Structure 1
Amino acid sequence: MGNERFVRWLKDAKPYFGVLFLQLSYAASSLISKSALNQGMNHYIFVVYRNIIAAVVFAPFAMLFERKIRPRMTINIFLKIMLLALLEPVIDQNLYYAGMQYTTATFATAMCNVLPAITFLLAWILRLENVKIRSFHSQGKIVGTILTIGGAMIMTLVRGHVIGLPWTTKHAPQTQSTDAATEHDHLKGAVMIAAGCFCWSCFYILQAITLKSYPAGLSLTCLICMAGALQSTVLTLVVERDNYAIWALHWDTTFLAYVYNGIIRSGVVYYISGIIMSEKGPFFVTAFNPLSMIMVAIVGSFMLAEQLDFGKVFGAVVIIVGLYLVIWGKSKDVSSSKSSEDDNIALSNNKESILAKPSNEERTDDTIKIRTLDDAV
Protein backbone atom coordinates (compact mmCIF):
# COMPACT_ATOMS: atom_id res chain seq x y z
CA MET A 1 0.00 0.00 0.00
CA GLY A 2 2.84 2.36 0.85
CA ASN A 3 4.65 1.58 -2.41
CA GLU A 4 1.50 2.25 -4.44
CA ARG A 5 1.04 5.59 -2.70
CA PHE A 6 4.67 6.53 -3.38
CA VAL A 7 4.38 5.55 -7.06
CA ARG A 8 1.18 7.60 -7.35
CA TRP A 9 2.87 10.59 -5.69
CA LEU A 10 5.89 10.24 -7.96
CA LYS A 11 3.65 10.16 -11.03
CA ASP A 12 1.79 13.29 -9.90
CA ALA A 13 5.07 15.05 -9.05
CA LYS A 14 6.74 14.43 -12.43
CA PRO A 15 5.44 17.65 -14.06
CA TYR A 16 6.67 19.69 -11.07
CA PHE A 17 10.13 18.12 -11.24
CA GLY A 18 10.07 18.82 -14.97
CA VAL A 19 9.34 22.54 -14.61
CA LEU A 20 11.97 22.84 -11.87
CA PHE A 21 14.50 21.38 -14.29
CA LEU A 22 13.34 23.87 -16.93
CA GLN A 23 13.88 26.80 -14.57
CA LEU A 24 17.33 25.54 -13.57
CA SER A 25 18.27 25.29 -17.25
CA TYR A 26 16.91 28.81 -17.91
CA ALA A 27 18.93 30.23 -15.02
CA ALA A 28 22.13 28.50 -16.12
CA SER A 29 21.53 29.62 -19.70
CA SER A 30 21.13 33.27 -18.67
CA LEU A 31 24.35 33.27 -16.66
CA ILE A 32 26.47 31.44 -19.25
CA SER A 33 25.07 33.49 -22.14
CA LYS A 34 25.57 36.80 -20.32
CA SER A 35 29.17 35.88 -19.58
CA ALA A 36 29.74 34.98 -23.26
CA LEU A 37 28.06 38.20 -24.45
CA ASN A 38 30.36 40.19 -22.15
CA GLN A 39 33.28 38.53 -23.95
CA GLY A 40 32.00 39.71 -27.35
CA MET A 41 29.82 36.83 -28.55
CA ASN A 42 27.59 37.74 -31.51
CA HIS A 43 23.98 36.83 -30.72
CA TYR A 44 23.11 36.09 -34.38
CA ILE A 45 25.87 33.47 -34.63
CA PHE A 46 24.94 32.20 -31.18
CA VAL A 47 21.40 31.39 -32.34
CA VAL A 48 22.68 29.68 -35.51
CA TYR A 49 25.21 27.43 -33.78
CA ARG A 50 23.02 26.44 -30.84
CA ASN A 51 20.21 25.29 -33.15
CA ILE A 52 22.62 23.40 -35.41
CA ILE A 53 24.04 21.59 -32.37
CA ALA A 54 20.54 20.78 -31.08
CA ALA A 55 19.42 19.39 -34.45
CA VAL A 56 22.57 17.26 -34.89
CA VAL A 57 22.39 15.82 -31.36
CA PHE A 58 18.66 15.03 -31.36
CA ALA A 59 18.28 13.75 -34.93
CA PRO A 60 19.61 10.21 -34.17
CA PHE A 61 17.33 9.86 -31.13
CA ALA A 62 14.31 10.99 -33.14
CA MET A 63 15.09 8.54 -35.95
CA LEU A 64 15.69 5.67 -33.52
CA PHE A 65 12.86 6.03 -31.00
CA GLU A 66 10.08 7.56 -33.09
CA ARG A 67 10.37 5.83 -36.44
CA LYS A 68 7.11 3.90 -35.81
CA ILE A 69 5.02 6.67 -34.25
CA ARG A 70 6.12 9.61 -36.41
CA PRO A 71 3.08 10.96 -38.30
CA ARG A 72 3.16 11.71 -41.99
CA MET A 73 4.35 15.22 -42.85
CA THR A 74 1.63 17.45 -44.27
CA ILE A 75 1.65 21.02 -45.54
CA ASN A 76 -0.24 22.17 -42.45
CA ILE A 77 2.28 20.59 -40.06
CA PHE A 78 5.21 21.88 -42.15
CA LEU A 79 3.91 25.46 -41.98
CA LYS A 80 3.41 25.14 -38.21
CA ILE A 81 7.00 23.92 -37.78
CA MET A 82 8.35 26.80 -39.85
CA LEU A 83 6.30 29.27 -37.78
CA LEU A 84 7.49 27.66 -34.54
CA ALA A 85 11.10 28.02 -35.71
CA LEU A 86 10.52 31.65 -36.60
CA LEU A 87 8.85 32.53 -33.28
CA GLU A 88 11.31 31.09 -30.75
CA PRO A 89 14.68 30.08 -32.25
CA VAL A 90 14.85 33.15 -34.52
CA ILE A 91 12.83 36.12 -33.23
CA ASP A 92 12.67 35.43 -29.49
CA GLN A 93 16.27 34.30 -29.03
CA ASN A 94 17.74 37.16 -31.05
CA LEU A 95 15.61 39.78 -29.30
CA TYR A 96 16.27 38.28 -25.86
CA TYR A 97 20.05 38.14 -26.18
CA ALA A 98 20.23 41.51 -27.94
CA GLY A 99 18.27 42.97 -25.00
CA MET A 100 20.53 41.20 -22.52
CA GLN A 101 23.53 43.00 -24.02
CA TYR A 102 22.01 46.31 -22.90
CA THR A 103 21.05 45.07 -19.42
CA THR A 104 22.10 42.44 -16.87
CA ALA A 105 21.31 38.74 -16.54
CA THR A 106 19.03 39.40 -13.56
CA PHE A 107 17.15 42.19 -15.36
CA ALA A 108 16.67 40.07 -18.51
CA THR A 109 15.37 37.16 -16.46
CA ALA A 110 13.06 39.49 -14.53
CA MET A 111 11.54 40.83 -17.75
CA CYS A 112 10.71 37.27 -18.79
CA ASN A 113 8.18 37.12 -15.96
CA VAL A 114 5.61 38.74 -18.23
CA LEU A 115 5.58 35.34 -19.99
CA PRO A 116 3.09 33.64 -17.59
CA ALA A 117 0.59 36.48 -17.95
CA ILE A 118 0.76 36.51 -21.76
CA THR A 119 0.54 32.71 -21.92
CA PHE A 120 -2.35 32.63 -19.44
CA LEU A 121 -4.36 35.15 -21.48
CA LEU A 122 -3.67 33.41 -24.79
CA ALA A 123 -4.45 29.97 -23.34
CA TRP A 124 -7.65 31.35 -21.80
CA ILE A 125 -8.73 32.90 -25.11
CA LEU A 126 -7.96 29.70 -27.05
CA ARG A 127 -9.57 27.55 -24.31
CA LEU A 128 -6.37 25.63 -23.62
CA GLU A 129 -6.63 26.59 -19.94
CA ASN A 130 -9.63 25.71 -17.77
CA VAL A 131 -10.78 28.96 -16.10
CA LYS A 132 -14.02 29.45 -14.18
CA ILE A 133 -14.15 32.90 -12.63
CA ARG A 134 -16.55 31.90 -9.84
CA SER A 135 -14.46 28.92 -8.66
CA PHE A 136 -11.87 29.43 -5.93
CA HIS A 137 -9.11 27.47 -7.68
CA SER A 138 -9.42 29.56 -10.86
CA GLN A 139 -9.31 32.71 -8.74
CA GLY A 140 -6.22 31.27 -7.03
CA LYS A 141 -4.51 30.82 -10.41
CA ILE A 142 -5.36 34.38 -11.45
CA VAL A 143 -4.23 35.91 -8.14
CA GLY A 144 -1.12 33.72 -8.10
CA THR A 145 -0.18 34.85 -11.61
CA ILE A 146 -0.63 38.50 -10.62
CA LEU A 147 1.52 37.97 -7.50
CA THR A 148 4.32 36.28 -9.42
CA ILE A 149 4.43 39.12 -11.95
CA GLY A 150 4.18 41.68 -9.15
CA GLY A 151 7.02 40.02 -7.28
CA ALA A 152 9.14 40.06 -10.41
CA MET A 153 8.44 43.77 -10.87
CA ILE A 154 9.37 44.38 -7.22
CA MET A 155 12.68 42.59 -7.80
CA THR A 156 13.23 44.72 -10.90
CA LEU A 157 12.12 48.18 -9.75
CA VAL A 158 12.48 48.27 -5.95
CA ARG A 159 16.02 48.64 -4.69
CA GLY A 160 16.10 49.20 -0.95
CA HIS A 161 18.96 48.47 1.39
CA VAL A 162 21.83 46.53 -0.17
CA ILE A 163 22.56 43.23 1.55
CA GLY A 164 26.32 43.19 1.87
CA LEU A 165 27.36 39.66 1.02
CA PRO A 166 31.08 38.90 1.41
CA TRP A 167 31.55 37.54 -2.11
CA THR A 168 29.91 40.61 -3.73
CA THR A 169 31.74 43.30 -1.72
CA LYS A 170 35.07 41.86 -2.86
CA HIS A 171 34.10 42.41 -6.51
CA ALA A 172 32.41 45.81 -6.24
CA PRO A 173 34.21 47.31 -9.28
CA GLN A 174 33.07 44.42 -11.47
CA THR A 175 29.48 45.01 -10.38
CA GLN A 176 29.71 48.63 -11.41
CA SER A 177 30.97 47.69 -14.86
CA THR A 178 28.22 45.10 -15.23
CA ASP A 179 25.50 47.66 -14.47
CA ALA A 180 27.11 50.47 -16.45
CA ALA A 181 24.41 50.56 -19.16
CA THR A 182 22.54 53.83 -19.44
CA GLU A 183 18.85 54.29 -18.70
CA HIS A 184 18.16 54.55 -22.44
CA ASP A 185 19.90 51.24 -23.06
CA HIS A 186 17.92 49.58 -20.27
CA LEU A 187 14.67 50.78 -21.85
CA LYS A 188 15.76 49.54 -25.27
CA GLY A 189 16.74 46.18 -23.79
CA ALA A 190 13.47 45.92 -21.87
CA VAL A 191 11.41 46.51 -25.04
CA MET A 192 13.42 43.87 -26.94
CA ILE A 193 13.03 41.28 -24.17
CA ALA A 194 9.29 41.98 -23.79
CA ALA A 195 8.75 41.55 -27.55
CA GLY A 196 10.75 38.33 -27.41
CA CYS A 197 8.60 37.05 -24.53
CA PHE A 198 5.44 37.62 -26.59
CA CYS A 199 6.92 35.48 -29.37
CA TRP A 200 8.01 32.90 -26.79
CA SER A 201 4.47 32.70 -25.40
CA CYS A 202 3.03 32.29 -28.90
CA PHE A 203 5.59 29.52 -29.45
CA TYR A 204 4.33 27.60 -26.39
CA ILE A 205 0.70 27.95 -27.48
CA LEU A 206 1.45 26.83 -31.04
CA GLN A 207 3.63 23.97 -29.78
CA ALA A 208 0.76 22.67 -27.64
CA ILE A 209 -1.56 22.82 -30.65
CA THR A 210 0.98 21.19 -33.00
CA LEU A 211 1.64 18.28 -30.62
CA LYS A 212 -2.01 17.23 -30.95
CA SER A 213 -1.57 16.55 -34.67
CA TYR A 214 2.15 15.67 -34.53
CA PRO A 215 2.71 13.86 -31.19
CA ALA A 216 6.30 12.79 -31.94
CA GLY A 217 8.04 15.12 -29.49
CA LEU A 218 11.67 14.31 -30.35
CA SER A 219 11.05 14.63 -34.08
CA LEU A 220 9.20 17.91 -33.60
CA THR A 221 12.09 19.26 -31.49
CA CYS A 222 14.63 18.25 -34.14
CA LEU A 223 12.59 19.77 -36.97
CA ILE A 224 12.10 23.05 -35.09
CA CYS A 225 15.85 23.34 -34.44
CA MET A 226 16.69 22.47 -38.06
CA ALA A 227 14.27 25.06 -39.41
CA GLY A 228 15.47 27.58 -36.80
CA ALA A 229 19.10 27.03 -37.81
CA LEU A 230 18.25 27.53 -41.48
CA GLN A 231 16.24 30.70 -40.90
CA SER A 232 18.84 32.09 -38.47
CA THR A 233 21.61 31.47 -41.02
CA VAL A 234 19.73 33.45 -43.65
CA LEU A 235 19.12 36.27 -41.15
CA THR A 236 22.79 36.34 -40.09
CA LEU A 237 24.04 36.39 -43.68
CA VAL A 238 21.79 39.39 -44.38
CA VAL A 239 22.56 41.36 -41.20
CA GLU A 240 26.27 40.45 -40.85
CA ARG A 241 27.08 40.00 -44.55
CA ASP A 242 30.46 41.77 -44.38
CA ASN A 243 31.60 40.36 -41.04
CA TYR A 244 33.00 36.88 -41.73
CA ALA A 245 35.12 36.75 -38.58
CA ILE A 246 32.08 36.09 -36.40
CA TRP A 247 31.71 32.57 -37.84
CA ALA A 248 35.01 31.45 -36.28
CA LEU A 249 34.79 29.07 -33.31
CA HIS A 250 36.74 29.85 -30.15
CA TRP A 251 37.36 27.37 -27.34
CA ASP A 252 36.16 29.62 -24.53
CA THR A 253 32.90 30.60 -22.82
CA THR A 254 31.24 31.28 -26.17
CA PHE A 255 31.72 27.65 -27.27
CA LEU A 256 30.33 26.50 -23.91
CA ALA A 257 27.31 28.76 -24.53
CA TYR A 258 26.79 27.18 -27.98
CA VAL A 259 26.93 23.61 -26.67
CA TYR A 260 24.96 24.09 -23.46
CA ASN A 261 22.18 26.16 -25.01
CA GLY A 262 22.00 23.87 -28.04
CA ILE A 263 21.71 20.58 -26.18
CA ILE A 264 19.91 21.68 -23.01
CA ARG A 265 18.22 25.01 -23.62
CA SER A 266 16.92 24.19 -27.11
CA GLY A 267 16.73 20.41 -27.46
CA VAL A 268 15.96 19.07 -23.98
CA VAL A 269 13.81 22.04 -22.96
CA TYR A 270 11.64 21.91 -26.09
CA TYR A 271 11.06 18.19 -25.61
CA ILE A 272 10.33 18.28 -21.86
CA SER A 273 8.09 21.34 -22.13
CA GLY A 274 6.10 19.54 -24.84
CA ILE A 275 5.59 16.52 -22.57
CA ILE A 276 4.46 18.71 -19.67
CA MET A 277 2.16 20.77 -21.90
CA SER A 278 0.40 17.67 -23.19
CA GLU A 279 -0.59 16.89 -19.59
CA LYS A 280 -0.82 20.26 -17.83
CA GLY A 281 -1.19 22.84 -20.59
CA PRO A 282 1.09 25.69 -21.74
CA PHE A 283 0.31 27.99 -18.80
CA PHE A 284 1.65 25.46 -16.29
CA VAL A 285 5.04 25.44 -18.04
CA THR A 286 5.39 29.23 -17.88
CA ALA A 287 3.84 29.77 -14.44
CA PHE A 288 7.10 28.76 -12.74
CA ASN A 289 9.20 31.20 -14.76
CA PRO A 290 9.79 33.59 -11.81
CA LEU A 291 11.78 30.82 -10.08
CA SER A 292 14.59 31.26 -12.60
CA MET A 293 14.88 34.91 -11.58
CA ILE A 294 15.44 33.93 -7.95
CA MET A 295 18.10 31.42 -9.05
CA VAL A 296 19.82 33.97 -11.30
CA ALA A 297 19.76 36.61 -8.56
CA ILE A 298 21.42 34.22 -6.10
CA VAL A 299 23.92 32.57 -8.44
CA GLY A 300 24.58 35.88 -10.24
CA SER A 301 25.80 37.32 -6.98
CA PHE A 302 28.53 34.65 -7.01
CA MET A 303 29.42 34.49 -10.71
CA LEU A 304 28.75 38.06 -11.91
CA ALA A 305 29.03 39.86 -8.54
CA GLU A 306 25.49 41.32 -8.86
CA GLN A 307 24.35 42.90 -5.59
CA LEU A 308 21.37 41.53 -3.63
CA ASP A 309 19.12 44.13 -2.02
CA PHE A 310 15.88 44.24 -0.02
CA GLY A 311 13.75 44.62 -3.16
CA LYS A 312 15.05 41.38 -4.66
CA VAL A 313 14.56 39.42 -1.44
CA PHE A 314 11.03 40.78 -0.82
CA GLY A 315 10.08 40.20 -4.47
CA ALA A 316 11.31 36.61 -4.21
CA VAL A 317 9.01 36.01 -1.22
CA VAL A 318 6.03 37.42 -3.15
CA ILE A 319 6.89 35.17 -6.11
CA ILE A 320 6.95 32.08 -3.88
CA VAL A 321 3.48 32.94 -2.48
CA GLY A 322 2.13 33.47 -5.99
CA LEU A 323 3.57 30.17 -7.20
CA TYR A 324 1.95 28.38 -4.27
CA LEU A 325 -1.45 29.74 -5.32
CA VAL A 326 -0.87 28.69 -8.92
CA ILE A 327 0.13 25.17 -7.86
CA TRP A 328 -2.91 24.96 -5.57
CA GLY A 329 -5.24 26.08 -8.35
CA LYS A 330 -3.78 23.60 -10.85
CA SER A 331 -4.04 20.75 -8.32
CA LYS A 332 -7.70 21.57 -7.76
CA ASP A 333 -8.22 21.55 -11.53
CA VAL A 334 -6.78 18.03 -11.68
CA SER A 335 -8.85 16.78 -8.73
CA SER A 336 -12.06 18.30 -10.10
CA SER A 337 -11.44 16.80 -13.54
CA LYS A 338 -10.78 13.39 -11.96
CA SER A 339 -13.97 13.62 -9.89
CA SER A 340 -16.00 14.57 -12.94
CA GLU A 341 -14.52 11.60 -14.82
CA ASP A 342 -15.40 9.30 -11.91
CA ASP A 343 -18.95 10.69 -11.87
CA ASN A 344 -19.29 10.08 -15.60
CA ILE A 345 -18.02 6.51 -15.19
CA ALA A 346 -20.40 5.89 -12.29
CA LEU A 347 -23.30 7.37 -14.26
CA SER A 348 -22.56 5.18 -17.26
CA ASN A 349 -22.29 2.10 -15.03
CA ASN A 350 -25.65 2.92 -13.45
CA LYS A 351 -27.23 3.27 -16.87
CA GLU A 352 -25.82 -0.09 -17.94
CA SER A 353 -27.05 -1.77 -14.76
CA ILE A 354 -30.53 -0.27 -15.16
CA LEU A 355 -30.70 -1.44 -18.76
CA ALA A 356 -29.48 -4.89 -17.74
CA LYS A 357 -32.13 -5.34 -15.00
CA PRO A 358 -35.45 -6.87 -16.17
CA SER A 359 -38.59 -4.79 -15.77
CA ASN A 360 -41.39 -5.58 -13.29
CA GLU A 361 -43.62 -6.92 -16.08
CA GLU A 362 -40.86 -9.25 -17.26
CA ARG A 363 -40.37 -10.50 -13.69
CA THR A 364 -44.14 -11.14 -13.32
CA ASP A 365 -44.26 -13.02 -16.62
CA ASP A 366 -41.31 -15.17 -15.55
CA THR A 367 -43.01 -15.93 -12.19
CA ILE A 368 -46.27 -16.94 -13.91
CA LYS A 369 -44.36 -19.22 -16.31
CA ILE A 370 -42.57 -20.92 -13.40
CA ARG A 371 -45.85 -21.48 -11.51
CA THR A 372 -47.55 -22.90 -14.61
CA LEU A 373 -44.72 -25.38 -15.07
CA ASP A 374 -44.97 -26.42 -11.41
CA ASP A 375 -48.74 -27.03 -11.75
CA ALA A 376 -48.22 -29.03 -14.90
CA VAL A 377 -45.67 -31.23 -13.18
Structure 2
Amino acid sequence: MCLVVECIGMAAFLAIQAPVLKKYPANLSVTAYSFFFGVVLMVAVSFFMTNGSTDWILTRSEILAVIYSGTIASALNYGIMTWSNKILGPALISLYNPLQPLFSSIMSQIFLGSSIYLGSIVGGSFIIAGLYMVTWASYRERQATAGVTPGSLVSEPFLHGKSADQIGHIFSGSSSIAPNPKSSD
Protein backbone atom coordinates (compact mmCIF):
# COMPACT_ATOMS: atom_id res chain seq x y z
CA MET A 1 0.00 0.00 0.00
CA CYS A 2 2.80 2.41 0.92
CA LEU A 3 4.68 1.60 -2.30
CA VAL A 4 1.62 2.42 -4.42
CA VAL A 5 1.11 5.70 -2.53
CA GLU A 6 4.82 6.53 -2.99
CA CYS A 7 4.63 5.91 -6.75
CA ILE A 8 1.53 8.08 -7.09
CA GLY A 9 3.07 10.77 -4.88
CA MET A 10 6.33 10.80 -6.85
CA ALA A 11 4.47 11.03 -10.16
CA ALA A 12 2.41 13.93 -8.81
CA PHE A 13 5.54 15.61 -7.43
CA LEU A 14 7.33 15.48 -10.79
CA ALA A 15 4.25 16.57 -12.76
CA ILE A 16 3.62 19.55 -10.46
CA GLN A 17 7.31 20.46 -10.31
CA ALA A 18 7.69 20.94 -14.09
CA PRO A 19 5.43 24.04 -14.36
CA VAL A 20 6.86 25.42 -11.11
CA LEU A 21 10.36 25.24 -12.59
CA LYS A 22 9.22 27.18 -15.66
CA LYS A 23 7.97 30.05 -13.49
CA TYR A 24 10.67 29.83 -10.82
CA PRO A 25 13.91 28.60 -12.42
CA ALA A 26 16.01 28.34 -9.22
CA ASN A 27 16.44 24.54 -9.06
CA LEU A 28 18.05 24.32 -5.64
CA SER A 29 15.51 26.64 -4.02
CA VAL A 30 12.62 24.56 -5.34
CA THR A 31 14.32 21.43 -3.96
CA ALA A 32 14.97 23.13 -0.61
CA TYR A 33 11.33 24.22 -0.29
CA SER A 34 10.18 20.69 -1.15
CA PHE A 35 12.46 19.26 1.53
CA PHE A 36 11.38 21.86 4.09
CA PHE A 37 7.69 21.00 3.72
CA GLY A 38 8.51 17.28 3.72
CA VAL A 39 10.43 17.67 7.00
CA VAL A 40 7.55 19.64 8.55
CA LEU A 41 5.09 16.89 7.61
CA MET A 42 7.38 14.10 8.85
CA VAL A 43 7.97 15.81 12.21
CA ALA A 44 4.24 16.43 12.64
CA VAL A 45 3.44 12.77 11.96
CA SER A 46 6.34 11.64 14.18
CA PHE A 47 4.87 13.39 17.21
CA PHE A 48 1.77 11.23 16.90
CA MET A 49 3.65 8.00 16.13
CA THR A 50 6.25 8.04 18.94
CA ASN A 51 5.60 7.12 22.55
CA GLY A 52 8.09 9.29 24.37
CA SER A 53 11.20 11.37 24.28
CA THR A 54 13.44 8.29 24.24
CA ASP A 55 12.37 7.54 20.65
CA TRP A 56 14.06 10.78 19.56
CA ILE A 57 17.51 9.83 20.93
CA LEU A 58 19.84 8.44 18.25
CA THR A 59 23.12 6.58 18.56
CA ARG A 60 26.25 7.80 16.78
CA SER A 61 25.87 5.35 13.88
CA GLU A 62 22.19 6.30 13.50
CA ILE A 63 23.14 10.00 13.37
CA LEU A 64 25.70 9.25 10.63
CA ALA A 65 23.08 7.22 8.73
CA VAL A 66 20.60 10.10 8.96
CA ILE A 67 23.22 12.61 7.76
CA TYR A 68 24.20 10.36 4.84
CA SER A 69 20.61 9.64 3.81
CA GLY A 70 19.67 13.30 4.14
CA THR A 71 22.55 14.71 2.12
CA ILE A 72 23.53 12.06 -0.43
CA ALA A 73 20.52 9.81 -0.85
CA SER A 74 17.94 12.57 -0.64
CA ALA A 75 19.23 16.10 -1.21
CA LEU A 76 21.69 15.23 -3.98
CA ASN A 77 19.22 12.83 -5.59
CA TYR A 78 16.32 15.28 -5.59
CA GLY A 79 18.56 18.18 -6.60
CA ILE A 80 19.68 16.27 -9.69
CA MET A 81 16.10 15.17 -10.40
CA THR A 82 14.87 18.78 -10.15
CA TRP A 83 17.59 19.97 -12.53
CA SER A 84 16.76 17.13 -14.94
CA ASN A 85 13.03 17.82 -14.67
CA LYS A 86 13.66 21.39 -15.77
CA ILE A 87 15.50 20.18 -18.88
CA LEU A 88 13.79 16.91 -19.85
CA GLY A 89 10.35 17.03 -18.26
CA PRO A 90 8.59 14.75 -15.79
CA ALA A 91 7.90 11.86 -18.20
CA LEU A 92 11.55 11.05 -18.89
CA ILE A 93 12.59 11.63 -15.27
CA SER A 94 10.01 9.21 -13.88
CA LEU A 95 11.00 6.73 -16.56
CA TYR A 96 14.41 6.24 -14.91
CA ASN A 97 13.01 5.39 -11.44
CA PRO A 98 13.01 1.62 -12.23
CA LEU A 99 16.80 1.75 -12.23
CA GLN A 100 16.77 2.07 -8.43
CA PRO A 101 16.18 -1.65 -7.73
CA LEU A 102 18.83 -2.58 -10.28
CA PHE A 103 21.46 -0.34 -8.66
CA SER A 104 20.32 -1.41 -5.19
CA SER A 105 21.01 -5.05 -6.00
CA ILE A 106 24.44 -4.16 -7.45
CA MET A 107 25.35 -2.00 -4.43
CA SER A 108 24.12 -4.64 -1.97
CA GLN A 109 26.33 -7.20 -3.70
CA ILE A 110 29.35 -4.87 -3.50
CA PHE A 111 28.91 -3.62 0.06
CA LEU A 112 26.91 -6.36 1.78
CA GLY A 113 27.99 -9.43 -0.17
CA SER A 114 24.41 -10.32 -1.16
CA SER A 115 23.92 -12.71 -4.03
CA ILE A 116 22.61 -11.51 -7.37
CA TYR A 117 20.24 -14.07 -8.87
CA LEU A 118 19.48 -14.79 -12.51
CA GLY A 119 16.03 -13.19 -12.17
CA SER A 120 17.64 -9.93 -11.08
CA ILE A 121 19.99 -9.99 -14.06
CA VAL A 122 17.18 -10.75 -16.52
CA GLY A 123 14.90 -8.13 -14.96
CA GLY A 124 17.68 -5.54 -14.97
CA SER A 125 18.37 -6.30 -18.64
CA PHE A 126 14.69 -5.76 -19.49
CA ILE A 127 14.68 -2.48 -17.55
CA ILE A 128 17.75 -1.20 -19.38
CA ALA A 129 16.39 -2.32 -22.78
CA GLY A 130 13.05 -0.63 -22.10
CA LEU A 131 14.71 2.59 -20.99
CA TYR A 132 16.90 2.60 -24.08
CA MET A 133 13.92 2.06 -26.39
CA VAL A 134 11.84 4.83 -24.81
CA THR A 135 14.78 7.26 -24.75
CA TRP A 136 15.62 6.44 -28.37
CA ALA A 137 11.97 6.89 -29.43
CA SER A 138 11.82 10.23 -27.60
CA TYR A 139 15.00 11.34 -29.35
CA ARG A 140 13.61 10.34 -32.75
CA GLU A 141 10.35 12.14 -32.00
CA ARG A 142 12.22 15.34 -31.08
CA GLN A 143 14.20 15.06 -34.32
CA ALA A 144 11.01 14.61 -36.33
CA THR A 145 9.32 17.64 -34.77
CA ALA A 146 12.47 19.71 -35.37
CA GLY A 147 12.42 18.78 -39.05
CA VAL A 148 15.55 16.63 -39.06
CA THR A 149 15.21 13.70 -41.43
CA PRO A 150 16.02 10.25 -40.04
CA GLY A 151 19.54 9.15 -40.80
CA SER A 152 20.91 12.66 -41.35
CA LEU A 153 23.52 14.05 -39.04
CA VAL A 154 23.12 17.47 -37.51
CA SER A 155 26.55 19.06 -37.66
CA GLU A 156 25.81 22.45 -36.09
CA PRO A 157 27.59 22.77 -32.76
CA PHE A 158 25.64 23.39 -29.55
CA LEU A 159 26.86 26.97 -29.07
CA HIS A 160 27.04 27.94 -32.75
CA GLY A 161 25.95 31.52 -33.40
CA LYS A 162 25.32 32.35 -29.74
CA SER A 163 26.51 35.59 -28.21
CA ALA A 164 28.48 35.62 -24.96
CA ASP A 165 25.37 36.86 -23.14
CA GLN A 166 23.28 33.97 -24.48
CA ILE A 167 25.99 31.45 -23.53
CA GLY A 168 25.98 32.88 -20.00
CA HIS A 169 22.20 32.37 -19.86
CA ILE A 170 22.56 28.78 -21.03
CA PHE A 171 25.00 27.87 -18.27
CA SER A 172 23.19 29.85 -15.57
CA GLY A 173 20.00 27.91 -16.24
CA SER A 174 17.92 30.86 -17.48
CA SER A 175 15.42 29.95 -20.15
CA SER A 176 14.87 33.49 -21.45
CA ILE A 177 17.20 33.20 -24.43
CA ALA A 178 16.11 34.90 -27.64
CA PRO A 179 16.02 32.57 -30.64
CA ASN A 180 18.95 32.56 -33.01
CA PRO A 181 18.14 34.94 -35.88
CA LYS A 182 19.98 32.69 -38.37
CA SER A 183 17.67 29.75 -37.62
CA SER A 184 14.47 31.61 -38.52
CA ASP A 185 15.25 32.11 -42.23
> Quick check: TM above 0.5?
yes
Q: 1:337: Cα distance to partner?
A: 3.6
Secondary structure in 2 matching 1:308: coil
Instruction: Indicate the SS of the match to 1:289.
Output: coil
Q: CA deviation at 1:251?
A: 1.1
Letter in 1 for 2:116: L
Separation in 2, partners of 1:239, 1:204 = 28
Alignment-derived partner of residue 251 in structure 1 = 60
Q: Which structure would you say has the larger Rg?
A: 1
Relative to structure 1, the CA distance from residue 299 to residue 266 in structure 2 (aligned partners, 3 Å threshold; closer, same or farther) is: closer
Q: Alpha-carbon deviation of 1:329?
A: 1.2
Structure 2 gaps of 5+ residues are 149-180
The corresponding residue for 1:266 is 74
Query: Which of the pair has the greater relative contact order for Cα pairs under 8 Å at 6+ separation?
Result: 1
User: What is the Cα deviation at residue 249 of structure 1?
Assistant: 2.8
> Within 5 A, what are the aligned runs for 1:114-125?
none
Q: Which residue of 2 aligns with 1:197?
A: 7
Counterpart in the other structure of 1:218: 28
* Structure with greater helix share of residues: 1
User: Matches of residues 207-356 of structure 1 in structure 2 within 5 Å?
Assistant: 207-240=17-50, 242-252=51-61, 254-339=62-147, 349=185
Tell me the distance in 1 between the aligned counterparts of 2:43 and 2:5: 21
Across the aligned residues of Structure 1 and Structure 2, the Cα RMSD in angstroms comes to 2.3
Q: CA deviation at 1:271?
A: 2.3
Structure 1 counterpart of 2:126, one-letter code: V
Describe the shift of the 1:247–1:278 C-alpha distance in structure 2 as closer, same or farther (beyond 3 A): same
Question: What count of residue pairs does the alignment treat as equivalent?
Answer: 153
- Post-superposition shift, 1:203? 0.9
**Distance in 2 separating the partners of 1:258 and 1:238:** 20
Counterpart-to-counterpart distance in 1, 2:183 and 2:96: 37
> Residues 218 and 256 from structure 1, CA distance in 2 versus in 1: closer, same or farther, beyond 3 angstroms?
same
Distance in 1 (alpha carbons) for counterparts of 2:91 and 2:55? 37
Change over 3 Å in CA distance of 1:265–1:208 after alignment to 2: farther
**Unpaired runs of at least 5, structure 1:** 1-190, 350-377
In the superposition, the TM-score normalised over structure 1's length comes to: 0.37
1:164-201 CA distance string (max 9 Å, x none)? xxxxxxxxxxxxxxxxxxxxxxxxxxx22122111111
One-letter code of the match for 1:247? W
Q: Provide the rounded CA distance (Å) in 1 between the counterparts of 2:120 and 2:114.
A: 11
Calculate percent identity across the aligned residue pairs.
Answer: 26
Which residues of 2 match residues 57-72 of structure 1 at below 5 A? none
CA, structure 1 residues 237+338, in 2 after alignment: closer, same or farther (shift >3 Å)? same
Cα 1:272–1:337 change in 2 (3 A) is farther
Q: Which amino acid aligns with 2:58?
A: L
